[in-house]
């Protein structure tokens, strides 16, 4: 089974963390939650999650996939150099990268979206285009090892796309 890094900070979109995590754990995958520092973070609607380790301590070469939930979490993460560097390193390793809603903003900051076809929450789409991505409005967009989705309503399809990609690895 795969070892998967989730990137998370306060004000994450609760369902965009909880649903993919549950889907992946039920399939037997191992999850590490990585953030600015180890400890508890709280979602927009009050859910809590435990960050297992700071991005600077994460063993990048051990992960098979990266999942980035949306909400305001990606915006908080993108101003921390260790998080941005980990994101860039993982994306450049050609592992599975899955981002939903506002999460592509962290991928923009890491400089890994140019030439890709992606989707996101509407407010991130202009930023994606300005960073060199082709933007589509689809439930799930798969471009090589990148999987993106727009919003919480897309989570069932997002989770299934991640599972299929991991099975094909």
Which residues are known to be catalytic?
101-102
Q: Rounded to whole angstroms, how far apart are CA atoms 63 and 60?
A: 6
Query: Which tokens hold the place of 83?
Result: 């998080």
Return the number of other C-beta atoms located less than 10 Å from residue 28's C-beta.
8
- How many Å from the N-terminal Cα to the C-terminal Cα in the chain? 10
Q: How far is 66 from 63, CA to CA, in rounded Å?
A: 7
């Amino acid at each position: 089974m795969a070892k998967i890094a989730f990137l998370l900070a306060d004000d994450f979109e609760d369902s965009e963390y909880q649903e993919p995590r549950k889907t992946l754990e039920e399939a037997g995958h191992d999850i590490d939650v990585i953030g600015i520092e180890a400890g508890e973070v709280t979602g927009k609607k009050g859910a809590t999650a435990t960050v297992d380790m700071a991005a600077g301590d994460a063993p990048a070469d051990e992960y098979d996939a990266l999942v980035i939930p949306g909400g305001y979490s990606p915006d908080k993460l993108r101003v921390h150099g260790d998080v941005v560097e980990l994101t860039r390193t993982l994306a450049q390793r050609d592992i599975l990268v899955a981002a939903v809603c506002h999460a592509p903003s962290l991928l923009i900051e890491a400089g890994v979206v140019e030439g890709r076809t992606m989707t996101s929450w509407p407010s991130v789409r202009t930023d994606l285009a300005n960073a060199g991505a082709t933007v589509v409005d689809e439930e799930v967009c798969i471009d090589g090892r990148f999987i993106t989705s727009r919003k919480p309503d897309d989570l069932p399809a997002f989770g299934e796309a991640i599972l299929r990609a991991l099975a094909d690895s």
